[in-house]
């Protein structure tokens, strides 16, 4: 579904992402982890078109997408969420999703009905006419997911989607991410919350100082000494 080959991104003299190659299969939930400053966000930004890599190639469904803009990628079926949710604060939750339905490129006869269907799908927990700036973290996360799905995405990039959720909110959120995958959407997520990443991912790649140091299943990553070493002094991987 998505393949990166030797992707590199520099900021002046700093190589933030160094020769990173990953392959994400259709229907997978793929996690990107690594200590602070490892290059996860920069790498995700290369995939989502916010940065153009200096080296390497990115293909989506066998098509070269290297250097395309976020808008072009959105129309090809790649959507992302942001660590800090970026909804329109003065619009209602429903109107926020409607904007994405309309912007997403696929014509819908009734954008409002489509927006409501998506909000039902993500289990939006309050009345959909609530103004976005009045939503709490959990509600905003669901709105953010609904907006990303409303663009008819086939590949969803999630940036720290579990951050700020309470431990009791986590299991239902994990179920929701799996439900989105089961509906046919492939997912790549960056995450610091290990309980989330270990509970939701099929495979994981680990970045450290911009380079990929490991990839594999949750079990393989948990038992990889290179990963434990990279996290020494940070949170425990287990
Ligand atoms: N716009 C930028 N200009 C200059 N340096 C940057 C920029 N964005 C990121 N960096 C640097 O690139 C490196 C990788 O940063 P990045 O944010 O991608 O890491 P990360 O793994 O997402 O970190 P975190 O988990 O803390 O969010 C860091 O050293 C960071 O300081």
Q: Which of 42, 207, 210 to mutate to test the pocket of ligand 1 (most atoms within 8 A of CB)?
A: 42
Q: What is the pLDDT of residue 105?
A: 65
Nearest CA to ligand 1 atom 5: 11
Q: What is the pLDDT of residue 14?
A: 95
Q: Is the dihedral of CA 115, 151, 177, 143 positive or negative?
A: negative
Closest ligand 1 atom to 210 CA: 14
Cα of 17 to ligand 1 centre, how many Å? 9
- What are the chain's domains? 2-77+154-236 (3.40.50.300), 87-151 (no CATH)
Segments of the chain with pLDDT less than 70 = 83-85, 105, 232-238
Nearest CA to ligand 1 atom 3: 11
Query: Two tokens at 77?
Result: 């079926």
Q: What is the pLDDT of residue 63?
A: 96
Nearest CA to ligand 1 atom 7: 11
Q: What is the pLDDT of residue 112?
A: 92
Helix axes 137-149, 111-121, angle to 10 degrees: 130
ipTM for this model: 0.96
Q: What is the pLDDT of residue 83?
A: 63
Pocket-forming residues, ligand 1, beta carbon under 6 Å: 11, 14, 16, 34, 36-42
Indicate the pTM of the whole model.
Answer: 0.90
Cα of 42 to ligand 1 centre, how many Å? 6
Q: What is the pLDDT of residue 107?
A: 76
Closest ligand 1 atom to 192 CA: 25
pLDDT in tens, 130-171: 999 999 988 988 999 999 899 888 999 998 888 888 888 889
Contacts of 207 (CB under 8 A, 6+ apart): 17, 20, 32, 33, 34, 38, 39, 40, 43, 213
């Amino acid at each position: 579904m998505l393949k990166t080959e030797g992707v590199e991104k520099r900021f002046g003299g700093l190589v933030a992402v160094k020769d990173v190659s990953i392959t994400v299969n259709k229907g997978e939930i793929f996690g990107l982890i690594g200590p602070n400053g490892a290059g996860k966000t920069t790498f995700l930004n290369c995939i989502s078109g916010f940065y153009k890599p200096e080296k390497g190639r990115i293909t989506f469904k066998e098509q070269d997408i290297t250097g395309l803009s976020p808008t072009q990628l959105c129309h090809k079926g790649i959507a992302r969420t942001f660590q800090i949710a970026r909804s329109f604060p003065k619009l209602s939750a429903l109107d926020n999703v409607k904007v994405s339905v309309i912007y997403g490129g696929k014509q819908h006869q009734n954008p409002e009905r489509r927006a409501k269907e998506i909000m039902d799908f993500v289990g939006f927990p309050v009345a959909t006419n609530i103004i976005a700036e009045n939503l709490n973290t959990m509600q905003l996360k669901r709105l953010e997911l609904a907006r990303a799905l409303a663009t008819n995405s086939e590949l969803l990039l999630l940036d720290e989607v579990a951050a700020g959720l309470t431990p009791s909110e986590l299991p239902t959120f994990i179920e929701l991410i799996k439900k989105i995958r089961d509906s046919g959407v492939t997912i790549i997520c960056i995450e610091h919350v290990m309980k989330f990443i270990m509970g939701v991912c099929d495979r994981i790649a680990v970045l450290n100082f911009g380079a990929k140091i490991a990839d594999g299943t949750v079990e393989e990553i948990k038992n990889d000494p290179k990963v434990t070493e990279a996290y020494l002094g940070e949170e425990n991987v287990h």
